[in-house]
Amino acid sequence: MADDENVVTTTSGPVRGLDDGITKSWRGIRYAAPPTGERRWRAPVPPEPWADVVDATTFGPVAPQPNNPVITLGPGAVKDEDCLSLNVWSASVVTPDDPRPVMVWIHGGAYIFGTSSQPLYDGRALVSDGDVVLVTVNYRLGALGFLDLSSFSTDERVFDTNLALRDVILALQWVQDNIAGFGGDPERVTLFGESAGGGIVTTLLTVPAASGLFSRAIAQSSPATSVYDSARAKRAADIFLQKVGVEPDSVATLYDMPVDRLVSAGLELFSDVPAATPGTLAFAPVVDKDLLPDYPLAAARAGRSNPVPLIIGTNKDEAALFKWMKSPLMPITPDAIRAMFAEIAAEQPELKLPSEAEIGSAYSGLKMKAAGLAVARDVGFRMPTIWLAEAHSAVAPVYLYRFDWATPMLRALRVGATHATELPYVWGNLVAGRKDITFKLGGLKVGKALSARLQNRWVNFAVDGHPGGLPGDPEWPPYVPDQRATLVIDRQDKVVDDLDRDLRAAWGTEVLNFL
């Protein structure tokens, strides 16, 4: 039967996908057993194998999460704890004996929102030319994926750490074991992600258990320094228990607690933590001395990051989205920024922090509100990205970028090239339905050309580790101390040497240890 051409046998059992004549896709493939019941807050394990062909033509459930009008989960999305699935995308017509490089996508969403099945991440435009095989991954979110309850473990009851990181690692192991059956090359796997997904990428760069599971990495707008120690994670866990009304000696009751209650308490914690301690996230990876031995930046500075080529960068106006959404996640006002630095000074008084005047030297000429947005952008995204680029470049090629393009409408709304605005260009999905206003004032022709350039660089990087451009595009050199080349992605791309010179001088290197 013709349908049998869409059946692939995995290590767990056969799955049948669908073929639309341009692309093939296999959706909702289970890569882990359901993380439910007593498997809540436990490391993922492979699923029980199956013998019959499983239908893989619809996306799997979405990880339990609060509703968010900004994030469209997709038509018919169902939230369920049994969410550990992935999707594979490939061109319909390929040479079977010529394995293609693989790109594995980790979605963003502040570690509490999002899913691999969002319409934005439809893989058809990215794979239709037949150059890559694409995998998009679900992982646990919020309290179910990032709450660290390990301090309450006993001999009879164990709570594992960094559950979402472990989910992604198991998914990457699935790719190593199975992707050849879908036409992919397990020796050429590029891990890429944005925002929280980018944070998972930069964290996994320094996780020993992830070594060898991917050979290149792309981190878009990674909050690379939003990784916390076990003491801070314990404080978050204590607050969470208070919110759900559970005493420390009754933690086992969490196994049977309705998931909606856990999600609701997680949302409260998500909002309360950055409000009380600006610049701090409720949910993020934890230095547990087990899976994650050290802060990623500290490990990278010590030469302990996995030596794979890396593309890393941020958007010019990252913080504008958080201001527009009135989000507590980023300290934008002067009072919030001062509170953040006061907290840092109290936690680590031995650090020599830059003064307001020293940091302000990089933002001279900006009005107070604009300066607050710039400081928030740089403390949350740009400076961690620069520090990681500097450190990782000692062990592997690094390519640094800044995404500057904004459509006339986004400029009119005063959000510019804000957080996540590069995503439609990476995916080639520029218009999200009739209600999308992004191009209502023009810019679509420029946007299509920019998307072609950006996709070409990302795919070329997946092919051979070098982000070569289209004919006529500028050569993008690696980031090295003598040059510090940065690709500025805009209406017309350009390479600028040491684009961030003033920022580096103002922020220095001492501050990276507390972030």
pLDDT tens-digit profile, the chain (515 residues): 345 889 999 999 999 999 999 999 999 999 999 999 999 999 999 999 999 999 999 999 999 999 998 888 988 899 999 999 999 999 998 766 789 999 999 999 999 999 999 999 999 999 998 899 999 999 999 999 999 999 999 988 999 999 999 999 999 999 999 999 999 999 999 999 999 999 999 999 999 999 999 999 999 999 998 999 999 999 999 999 999 999 999 999 999 999 999 999 999 999 999 888 887 899 999 999 999 999 999 999 999 999 999 999 999 999 888 777 677 677 767 777 777 666 655 554 544 556 666 666 667 666 666 777 788 788 888 989 999 999 999 999 999 999 999 999 999 999 999 999 999 999 999 998 888 899 999 999 999 999 999 999 999 999 999 999 999 999 999 999 999 999 999 999 999 999 999 888 887 654 444 33
Q: Is the dihedral of CA 449, 453, 456, 462 positive or negative?
A: negative
| Largest pairwise CA distance in the chain | 72
Q: Two tokens at 4?
A: 């049998």
Q: Please identify which of the residues 81, 116, 221, 318 carries the catalytic annotation.
A: 318
Question: Measured in whole angstroms, how far is the alpha carbon of residue 158 from the centre of its chain?
Answer: 27
Calculate the CA dihedral of residues 490, 219, 515, 227 and round it to 10 degrees.
150
Q: Two tokens at 167?
A: 């989910």
Full-model pTM: 0.94
pLDDT at residue 181, as a whole number? 95
Q: Two tokens at 416?
A: 């510019």
Contact between 191 and 217 under an 8 Å Cβ cutoff? The reply is yes
Contact between 147 and 113 under an 8 Å Cβ cutoff? The reply is no
| Selection from 438, 447, 445 nearest residue 405 by Cα | 447
318 among known catalytic residues: yes
- Alpha-carbon distances, residue 392 vs 242, 370, 389, 411, 457 (angstroms): 40, 31, 5, 34, 20
Alpha-carbon distance 123 to 429, whole Å?
Answer: 9
Q: Two tokens at 255?
A: 């196994």
Alpha-carbon distance 492 to 494, whole Å?
Answer: 7
Q: Please identify which of the residues 107, 419, 422, 451 carries the catalytic annotation.
A: 419
268 among known catalytic residues: no
Alpha-carbon distance 217 to 47, whole Å?
Answer: 27
Contacts of 270 (CB under 8 A, 6+ apart): 66, 110, 112, 142, 281, 282, 283
Q: Two tokens at 480?
A: 């090295």
Question: pLDDT, tens digit, for every residue of 291-319?
Answer: 999 999 999 999 999 999 999 999 999 98
Q: Please identify which of the residues 195, 226, 305, 451 carries the catalytic annotation.
A: 195
Question: pLDDT, tens digit, for every residue of 131-145?
Answer: 999 999 999 999 999
Question: pLDDT, tens digit, for every residue of 335-393?
Answer: 777 776 666 555 545 445 566 666 666 676 666 667 777 887 888 889 899 999 999 99
419 among known catalytic residues: yes
How many residues are recorded in the chain? 515
